[in-house]
Structure 1
Amino acid sequence: MHSIPTSTSYELTQAGDRYFDGLVDKFSRSLYQAPRGELRLAMLDYLLPQMLHLTEQPVLDVGGGLGQLSGWFAQRGHAVTMAEPSQDMLAHASAWHAERSAEGAWPVDKLRYLAAPLQLLPQQAPGPWPLITCHAVLEWLGEPEQAVQTLASLLAPGGQLSLMVFNRDALRFSNVVKGNLKKALSDQLEGKGKRQRLTPISPVTHDEMCQWVVNNGLVMEGVAGIRIFQDYLRHPSTERSEQATLLALEKQYCRQDPHWRLGRYLLYTFTKPEADV
Structure 2
Amino acid sequence: MTDSTPLSPAGDRHFDGLVEKFAGSLYGGPRGALRLAMLDALLPEMLELDGQPLLDVGGGLGQLSAWFARRGHPVTLLEPAGDMLEQARQSLEGLPVSFMRAPLQALPERTPGPWPLIACHAVLEWLSDPRAALATLADGLAPGGQLSLMVFNRDALRFSNVVKGNLQKALDDRLEGTGKRQRLTPISPLSHDRIVAWSRQCRLSIRAVAGIRVFHDYLRHPPASEDDWQRLVALERRYCQVEPHWRLGRYLLYTLVKEGDLPTEGNVR
Is residue 33 from structure 1 mapped to residue 19 from structure 2 by the alignment?
no
Mapped partners of 1:7, 1:21: distance in 2? 14
Question: Paired residue for 1:218?
Answer: 204
Shift of 1:7: 7.5
Paired residue type of 1:65: G
Mapped partners of 1:45, 1:240: distance in 2? 19
User: Could you tell me which of 49, 53, 58 is aligned with 2:48?
Assistant: 53
TM-score with structure 1 setting the length: 0.92
| Contiguous gaps of at least 5 residues in structure 2 | 262-269
Q: Name the % identity.
A: 63
Mapped partners of 1:238, 1:142: distance in 2? 39
Question: Paired residue for 1:66?
Answer: 61
User: Could you tell me which of 171, 195, 217 is aligned with 1:185?
Assistant: 171
User: Could you tell me which of 5, 8, 32 is aligned with 1:13?
Assistant: 8
Shift of 1:238: 3.5
User: Could you tell me which of 128, 131, 147 is aligned with 1:145?
Assistant: 131
Q: Deviations over 1:217-239 (max 9, x none)?
A: 11000000000000011111142
CA contact (8 A) 1:7 1:22 kept: no
User: Could you tell me which of 220, 227, 234 is aligned with 1:234?
Assistant: 220
Mapped partners of 1:116, 1:66: distance in 2? 14
User: Could you tell me which of 146, 153, 156 is aligned with 1:160?
Assistant: 146
Mapped partners of 2:181, 2:111: distance in 1? 31
CA contact (8 A) 1:19 1:86 kept: yes
**Secondary structure at 1:76's aligned position in 2?**
coil
**Secondary structure at 1:266's aligned position in 2?**
strand
**Secondary structure at 1:195's aligned position in 2?**
coil
TM-score with structure 2 setting the length: 0.95
Structure 1 runs (4+) greater than 4 angstroms displaced: none
**Secondary structure at 2:92's aligned position in 1?**
helix
Mapped partners of 2:164, 2:59: distance in 1? 31
CA contact (8 A) 1:136 1:164 kept: yes
Mapped partners of 2:156, 2:25: distance in 1? 19
Mapped partners of 1:143, 1:125: distance in 2? 20
User: Could you tell me which of 155, 161, 171 is aligned with 1:175?
Assistant: 161
Mapped partners of 1:193, 1:124: distance in 2? 26
Is residue 89 from structure 1 mapped to residue 75 from structure 2 by the alignment?
no
Is residue 79 from structure 1 mapped to residue 68 from structure 2 by the alignment?
no
Mapped partners of 1:8, 1:176: distance in 2? 28
Q: Deviations over 1:44-76 (max 9, x none)?
A: 000000000000000000000110000000000
CA contact (8 A) 2:203 2:260 kept: no
Paired residue type of 1:51: M
Paired residue type of 2:86: A
Total equivalences in the alignment: 261
Matches within 5 A, 1:195-206: 195-206=181-192
CA contact (8 A) 1:138 1:202 kept: yes
Shift of 1:208: 0.4
RMSD value, Cα:
1.2
Shift of 1:10: 2.5
Q: Deviations over 1:181-217 (max 9, x none)?
A: 1111111011101110000010000000000010011
Shift of 1:9: 3.1
Mapped partners of 1:74, 1:224: distance in 2? 23
CA contact (8 A) 2:51 2:74 kept: yes
